Each structure stands twice: as structure tokens, then as C-alpha cells.
Amino acid sequence: MTNKWRTKKISGSKQKNRRRTIVKVLFLCIVFLLVYYVAAYMLPRVEVVLIPKSRDVKIDQDIYLVAKKNIDMENRVYLKGKEIIIEEEVENTFQVENEKNIGDRAEGNVWFFNYTGLSFDLFPEDELETAGGVSFVVREPLVIPPASVSENGEIVPGKIQAGIIAIEPGENGNIEPQKIFITSLPADKQLKIYAQSFEKLTGGTTKMAKVVAEDDIEKAREKLAEMLKNKVIQKASTLKKDSEVVLGESFVLEDEEYQTEIKTGDEIEEFVMKLKAKGKVFAYKQEDLYKILREEVDVMKYPQEILVGDEPKEVTVDNLRKDDTLGIYVVNVKAVWPVSNPLDIDGIKQQILGKKEPEARRIILSNPAIRDVIFIWDLAVRRSIPNIESRIKISVKQR
């Protein structure tokens, strides 16, 4: 009896455990199905980005940058904002780029001849030149006497000896005996009044050295101005509000003071220059500029067309200049903003509810006004468009 009772008890216990296991499995399956249903149909979100067939509207507009109040801007396009003024200083070491021959100049004595009947005054400012293009000047002012007629009726040229020196240093000035012409005279007179060297001119040497030129100083100033501009714009970006944009193209340098100990003609390899100045930039809200551009596009597009995207495809700002009448700056803004034919967003949403991605793509691309479509999925177990409209976002953007 005891063994039979125990056997029955064990058998009943096994059946109970089996039923519990079945119940657990069924419960887990139901939970899994519920989770799958929620994940597949309730949680997923999708953004459907429509890229329409479009054309570009090009904008070319002068815009006034207004940071002051009480300025009459009637009939002018203007952008409101604020000026940020920052005083800064920058310093840098610059290499001298200009190379110059600082050697000696060739010199010597020549004879001047005058075959005309009038004397001729020659000054150190008057250039003399050989047929080979080497230039000289006289050391002192002189008067070349006129020609005379001999007892035999021959023309005797007036002549005088004087020292000349090459304008530029170098061996080129060490010329052999030859004629030297006075370039200030007309061509026909140059054959009647000229100089003649009878001995080789000497003393010209070459010695190349770095010598500060005006171009070296100007380039240093430009570099320092650019350095200060970058520093001011960077600092202004930390002072502006999050909703504002610093217009780097509006940068203006004021009260600039350049400091250096060098001057043109100094023989040095490098030099230090410092710039202390006020930098002024204009800050504005990006949306305010886009509003202006939208208004310009609205005038230029066809009435039925719509703007594609929330911002223009391209924007360039240049040609900063001051309107002296108003005392404010104006810039030229060029922009490109695509426009397209209108799209029935609600109708497209209704057409693709519950459709799988390939089917939804086919439906959308069957619209002749749409060039392409992009699906951006969020929490999607399977790539099917949700059946709930609120889980679908449709936007129109540029490619």
C-alpha cells in the first residue's frame, strides 16, 4: 500500500510540474508576442525624407548691417544685429624676403661730346645708358660746351671730361670703352650729344644681402591684421548668444597701431612687429538672415512653388563696404535656394501607412515631383511603415 501510494504521489507531482511548465511557456510566448507587437507596431518611428525635383533660385542682394537704433532704413534690405568690439594685440617675427645687391658701383671718367651749336646742361638726375642697357649718372652737374667751326671749316665738337658712376652695384657696370647715350634727349640728338669711355670702368662688385623693402613691411602688416582678425572672431564667438552667428566677413580694424624698430633699407634677416588695435565684428541671428532670403525667394519663384528645406543650399558673403551717408556697413550676399512644385504630404502619409519599405519607396517614387526618398528608422524591429500617423514624420530636404 505504501509503495503504491508513493508511486501515485510521485506521478501526480510530475503531472503538476508539467502543467506548470506548459503554463510558463504559454505565458512567455504571450509576453513575447506582446513585446514583438509593441516593438513592431507601436514603438517604431520613421522619418521619411523626400527629395523633390527642384530648380535653384539665385539671390544676389546687398544687405545693410544694422546695430544702431533710430536709423531710417526705408526701402533698404537690412539685417538687425549687434556689434562686438574687442581690443587685442598680436606680435610675430617675420623673415625678410627682399634680396638686394649691396656691392659697390662701377665708376670712372668719360668724355662728353657736343656736336650742336648750343651748350648742354647735364645733372646727376639725368640717366646715361649704354647700348647694352647699363645705366650711369654724372657725379656733379656739368655744362657740355657747344661745337665750333675750325679755320678749315670743320666742325669741332665741344667736349668736357667728367666722372660717372653706375646706378646699380655689380660687375655689369665694369664696361669696356664705348659710347654712352643721354636718354633724356630725343633719339636724333643722342647721336650729337653723348659720352665716350676710353678706358674700362671699374669697381663694380656683387654682394647679395637681405634688405628690408616696403613690400616686407606691408606683408607683415597684412599678416598681423589677419592674426588679430582670427583672434577677435574666436573671442567674439564666446561672447555671443547661442542663437547668434558672428559674421567674420564684417570684421573691421580700428585704431590700429603697428610697432617695429626696423625701416626700409635695413640689412637684417628677420624682424619683429606688433599690432595693437580694436577689432569690430557683427553678430546676428541666423534665422533673421534666412527670413530675408526667404522673402527674396518668394518674390522670384512662381506662386505655386515651395522652398525646399529650412535653409539655403549655398550662402556667400563678401564685398564689405561702408555707407558713408548712414555710417553703417553693407555686404553683398549671394545665396542659392532650391524650390519645387508643392507636395501633398498628408496624402503621401496615408498612401504608405503600414507598407513595407520597398513598397513605400515604390509608391513615393511614382510621384513625378519626387526625385528620391530616404527612410530613417528608429526602434524598428522590421522595416515597415507604422500604422499610426503620429509615428511617421515626413520632411522635404535638399540633396
Angstrom distance (rounded) from CA 321 to CA 325:
12
- 3-state per-residue secondary structure call for 58-108: EEEEEEEEECCCCCCCCCCCEEEEEEEEEEEEEEEEEECCCEEECCCCCEE
Angstrom distance (rounded) from CA 348 to CA 76:
41
User: Within a 10 A sphere around the Cβ of 161, how many other Cβ atoms?
Assistant: 11
For the chain, domain boundaries? 103-206
Q: Find the Cα–Cα–Cα–Cα dihedral 10, 15, 17, 18, rounded to 10°.
A: 140
Angstrom distance (rounded) from CA 170 to CA 252:
46
Closest CA to 116 of 153, 157, 150: 157
Instruction: State the alpha helices, DSSP H only, in the chain.
Output: 2-37, 187-190, 214-239, 286-300, 345-352, 357-365
Closest CA to 317 of 282, 280, 287, 277: 282
Q: Find the Cα–Cα–Cα–Cα dihedral 48, 49, 53, 54, rounded to 10°.
A: 140
- Among the four given CATH numbers 3.40.50, 1.20.1280, 2.30.31, 2.40.30, the one describing domain 103-206: 2.40.30
DSSP state of 38: I
pLDDT score at 7: 52
Burial 193-213 (b: 16+ CB within 10 A, else e): bbbebeeebebbbeeeebbbb
pLDDT score at 247: 93
Specify the pTM. 0.63
pLDDT score at 156: 96
User: Could you please report the per-residue DSSP string of 208-232?
Assistant: EEE---HHHHHHHHHHHHHHHHHHH
pLDDT score at 3: 52
Angstrom distance (rounded) from CA 208 to CA 206:
6
Angstrom distance (rounded) from CA 269 to CA 90:
21
Helical axes 357-365 vs 345-352, angle rounded to 10°: 140
**Is 245 in contact with 236 (CB distance < 8 Å)?**
no
Question: If DSSP codes are grouped into helix, strand and coil, which group holds residue 171?
Answer: helix
Block means of pLDDT (10 residues each) for the chain, length 399 residues? Answer: 51 66 69 52 81 95 89 88 95 95 96 97 97 96 96 93 97 97 95 96 96 96 96 94 91 95 94 96 94 94 92 92 89 95 93 93 94 88 85 90
Here the cell at position 16 is 503538476
